[in-house]
């Protein structure tokens, strides 16, 4: 629809989908702007669009209107794995074609061809996605983005859940504050538990950024399909509540090297008056390309245990020796006697996995190089194929195969992506040869190529190359310390999970995660994709020699996280002996699925509480997880999502009466009762507590 536009506006277009309204304007100076409203209320006030290119420093003004295209799409597709069986993709698309005449003196003489820019908007029922596209054109071929100027001009001083805009990490704790109060300087400075921190703008934050307005509107800003482009961080203007795109720079300060035709990642704005709708949104997945992997039969979600938490808590070591120069007369490393990845110990985990129907076993510290793997900005750290002398790969892989257990390879790069790129084929051939079906990668440390950042264009491309290479070798991928995900798991369904946030591991080696942390993650980091959070810690205190160190949840909440923190790859992170000490509670981890036909967000409030019910893939069984932040809570849940007339048995794992994350985290009770679709289930959650319920057909 073409509107009567204000006198100064050159042109205005509007798209509406239910409560969401997008307005695009090209003003009299040829500057593109957009606005977003929800249910008649402004969400984004007039916000600028455009770029500074090294070829054209004002690629944000002087545009002329060339026309629009509109299209309505309403389809349903099926993910290879996921939270629901079917995903509806329903939007109206508006493509705006803009052009500017050639710049400089040559243009005056009319000899330079014009430059074109398309802006593609997709308006969904739950928000707006838009991307820029540089079409194939004679006037712009190879070019460099100096800055992207995209703005999100918020209508108020919203409550915001944020972490610092850091070029190298997403592993910060969340701060909840008003937009006008955002300042990351102190937090960055004191976060010495994070290996690499580069946050030059104290007013910049990461996406996904979650906000709540005073009127109760929930707004989430992120991006989708981040490929061949740096991550977008947001600079906050604390006076006007305007967020401006800040792209992570490369080693020489440029942002992106592009070659037209090129579409940028989508910028996403998810909006609802219900927090649950934000979590249920499929917009980011919908804005990604369908799977590029034809045969996906080899991709299978699973749970896993690992020779891992024992290293994180100091019980054993990744390294074989304590020092790289600690060698004996024959030149070999002198063992420290505490190496975790030894054959006997690995077999113990394989036995535990087999006995409890846990699909996989991860082993870290199996390959040489861990004596001085970190902090030296070394080019060549690991070769990914040389085991320590006490890790008998042949025996281990044969043993795992005989027990039907999948082994998960560990490739820590220490940030030396160049080294990994050189070794990658060799590493994946090694996995194929020995039968590893998955790999966990890691990027702890300053990046090589030196000067690059974890979230810059070069590394964004690296992570995708690893996913593609893994797919070629039929290996599933779990990346630690990559750029935060943007829905690419739709395109590369072998890329099952990422860390890219502050995981449970921070409870092992630092002061850990606050009780509200896991109620914020689904609204922030997980909006882009599944997280390998490593839940399931049962021994919540006393696992570390450091006084005061503990996990800031109850045991029942650790169970609930298997439902509330979605991942097709879920670790049962604690030690086998700690699970054996609580076999009754461990039953929930054994039973809980990792792939789902349906998901219902029953209640949600970021920073406060979250309750989700999910239906197991291919069955009629449901699993429910309820968590709370720092406050205790009583909630009554309607089980009306169950099939009418069907009887189910519910097993309820809940906080004991005296449970409290701080003083009594391991108190829980387990209760069984019959339920049906009429049942109202009341559960009490302790401070930092939770409840997990399996509801199986009787």
| Block residue for tokens 């509109």 | 70
CA 627 to CA 613: how far, in whole Å? 12
> How many residues sit in the footprint of ligand NOJ (CB under 6 A)?
8
Angle between helical axes of 457-472 and 417-434 (0-180°, round to 10) = 10
For Ca ion, give the closer residue by CB, 83 or 364: 364
Query: What Rg, from alpha-carbon coordinates, does the chain have?
Result: 26
For ligand NOJ, give the closer residue by CB, 173 or 606: 173
* In the complex, least distance from residue 512 CB atom to Ca ion, rounded to whole angstroms: 13
Show the binding pattern over residues 417-456: x = contacts ligand NOJ (CB under 6 A), - = does not.
Answer: -------------------------x-x------------
* N-terminal to C-terminal alpha carbon distance within the chain: 55
Window 346 to 385, contacts with Ca ion (CB under 5 A): none
Stretch near Ca ion under the rule CB under 5 A, chosen from 292-300, 351-359, 492-500, 517-525: 492-500
505 contributes a contact to ligand NOJ by CB under 6 A: yes
Contact 135, 24 (CB under 8 A): no
| Contacted entry of Ca ion, ligand NOJ, none for residue 83, CB cut-off 5 to 8 Å set by kind | none
For ligand NOJ, give the closer residue by CB, 412 or 574: 412
Instruction: Describe the strand order of the beta sheet including 495-498 as a list of residue ranges.
Output: 495-498, 476-479, 438-442, 406-412, 360-363, 302-307, 569-571
Q: Which of 99, 310, 505, 687 is catalytic?
A: 505
Stretch near Ca ion under the rule CB under 5 A, chosen from 86-94, 480-488, 592-600, 616-624: 480-488
| Contacted entry of ligand NOJ, Ca ion, none for residue 442, CB cut-off 5 to 8 Å set by kind | ligand NOJ
> From residue 171, how far is each of 195, 287, 501 by CA, in Å?
9, 26, 4
* In the complex, least distance from residue 461 CB atom to ligand NOJ, rounded to whole angstroms: 22
* In the complex, least distance from residue 446 CB atom to ligand NOJ, rounded to whole angstroms: 14
Two tokens at 106?
């040559």
For Ca ion, give the closer residue by CB, 501 or 572: 501
Two tokens at 540?
């919540």
Which residues contact residue 280 at a Cβ distance below 8 angstroms, ignoring those fewer than 6 apart?
A: 599, 601
Among 412, 574, 655, 687, binds ligand NOJ (CB under 6 A): 412
505 catalytically annotated: yes
For ligand NOJ, give the closer residue by CB, 48 or 480: 480
For ligand NOJ, give the closer residue by CB, 150 or 570: 570
168 contributes a contact to ligand NOJ by CB under 6 A: no
For Ca ion, give the closer residue by CB, 148 or 364: 364
How would you write 155-201 as a 3-class SS string? CCCCEEEECECCCCCCCCCCEEEEHHHCCCHHHHHHCCCCCCCCCCC
What phi and psi, each to the nearest 5 degrees, are found at residue 521?
A: -50, -45
Torsion region of 435: left, alpha or beta (phi above 0 gives left; psi -120 to 50 gives alpha): left
480 contributes a contact to ligand NOJ by CB under 6 A: yes
DSSP 471: H
Show the binding pattern over residues 429-468: x = contacts Ca ion (CB under 5 A), - = does not.
Answer: ----------------------------------------
Give the pairing of strands 151-154 and 242-247: antiparallel
**Residues near Ca ion, by CB under 5 A:** 480, 499
**Residues near ligand NOJ, by CB under 6 A:** 308, 364, 412, 442, 444, 480, 499, 505
Catalytic residues: 505
């Amino acid at each position: 629809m073409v509107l009567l536009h204000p006198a100064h506006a050159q042109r205005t277009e509007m798209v509406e989908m239910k409560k969401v309204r997008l307005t695009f304007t090209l003003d009299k100076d040829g500057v593109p702007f957009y606005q977003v409203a929800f249910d008649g209320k402004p969400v984004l006030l007039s916000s600028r669009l455009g770029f500074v290119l090294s070829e054209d420093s004002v690629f944000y003004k002087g545009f002329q209107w060339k026309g629009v295209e509109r299209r309505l799409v309403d389809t349903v597709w099926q993910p290879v794995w996921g939270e629901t069986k079917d995903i509806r993709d329903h939007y109206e698309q508006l493509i705006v074609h803009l052009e500017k005449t050639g710049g400089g003196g040559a243009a005056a003489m009319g000899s330079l061809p014009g430059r074109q820019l398309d802006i593609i908007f997709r308006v969904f029922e739950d928000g707006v996605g838009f991307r820029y596209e540089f079409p194939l054109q004679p006037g712009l071929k190879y070019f460099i983005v100096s800055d992207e100027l995209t703005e999100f001009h918020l209508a108020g001083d919203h409550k915001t859940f944020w972490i610092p805009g850091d070029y190298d990490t997403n592993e910060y704790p969340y701060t909840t504050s008003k937009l006008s109060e955002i300042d990351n300087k102190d937090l960055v400075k004191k976060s010495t538990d994070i290996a690499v921190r580069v946050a030059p703008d104290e007013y910049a934050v990461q996406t996904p950024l979650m906000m709540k307005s005073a009127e109760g509107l929930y707004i989430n800003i992120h991006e989708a399909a981040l490929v061949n482009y740096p991550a977008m961080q947001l600079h906050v203007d604390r006076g006007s509540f305007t967020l401006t795109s800040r792209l992570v720079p490369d080693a020489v300060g440029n942002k992106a090297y592009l070659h037209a035709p090129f579409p940028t990642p989508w910028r996403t704005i998810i909006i609802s008056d219900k927090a649950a709708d934000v979590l249920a949104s499929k917009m980011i997945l919908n804005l990604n390309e369908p799977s590029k992997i034809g045969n996906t039969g080899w991709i299978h979600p699973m749970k896993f245990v690992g020779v891992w938490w024992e290293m994180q808590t100091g019980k054993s070591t990744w390294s074989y020796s304590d020092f790289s120069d600690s060698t004996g007369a024959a030149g070999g490393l002198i063992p420290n006697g505490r190496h975790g990845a030894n054959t006997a110990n690995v077999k113990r985990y394989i036995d535990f996995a087999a006995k409890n129907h846990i699909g996989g076993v991860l082993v870290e510290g199996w390959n040489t190089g861990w004596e001085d793997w970190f902090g030296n900005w070394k080019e060549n750290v690991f070769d990914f194929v040389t085991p320590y002398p006490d890790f008998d790969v042949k025996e281990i892989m044969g043993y795992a195969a005989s027990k039907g257990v999948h082994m998960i390879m560990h490739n820590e790069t220490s940030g030396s992506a160049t080294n990994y790129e050189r070794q990658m084929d060799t590493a994946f051939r090694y996995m194929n040869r020995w039968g590893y079906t998955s790999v966990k990668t890691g990027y702890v440390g300053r990046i090589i190529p030196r000067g690059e950042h974890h979230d810059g264009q070069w590394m964004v491309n690296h992570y995708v190359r690893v996913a593609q290479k893994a797919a070629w070798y039929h290996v599933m991928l779990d990346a630690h310390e990559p750029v935060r995900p943007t829905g690419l798991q739709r395109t590369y369904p072998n890329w099952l999970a990422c860390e890219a946030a502050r995981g449970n591991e921070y409870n092992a080696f630092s002061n850990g995660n606050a009780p509200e942390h896991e109620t914020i993650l689904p609204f922030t980091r997980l909006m882009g994709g599944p997280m390998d959070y490593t839940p399931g810690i049962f021994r919540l205190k006393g696992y570390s020699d450091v006084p005061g160190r503990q996990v800031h949840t109850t045991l029942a909440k650790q169970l609930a996280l298997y439902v509330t923190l979605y991942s097709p790859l879920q670790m049962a992170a604690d030690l086998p002996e700690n699970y054996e000490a609580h076999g009754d509670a461990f039953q929930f981890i054994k039973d809980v699925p990792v792939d789902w036909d349906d998901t219902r967000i029953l209640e949600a409030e970021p920073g406060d509480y979250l309750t989700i019910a999910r239906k197991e893939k291919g069955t009629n069984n449901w699993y429910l997880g309820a968590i709370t932040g720092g406050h205790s809570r009583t909630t009554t849940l309607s089980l009306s999502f169950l099939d009418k007339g069907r009887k189910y048995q519910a097993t309820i794992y809940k906080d004991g009466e005296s449970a409290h994350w701080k003083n009594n985290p391991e108190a829980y009770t387990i209760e069984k009762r019959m339920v049906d679709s009429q049942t109202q289930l009341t559960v009490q959650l302790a401070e930092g507590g939770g409840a997990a319920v399996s509801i199986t057909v009787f």
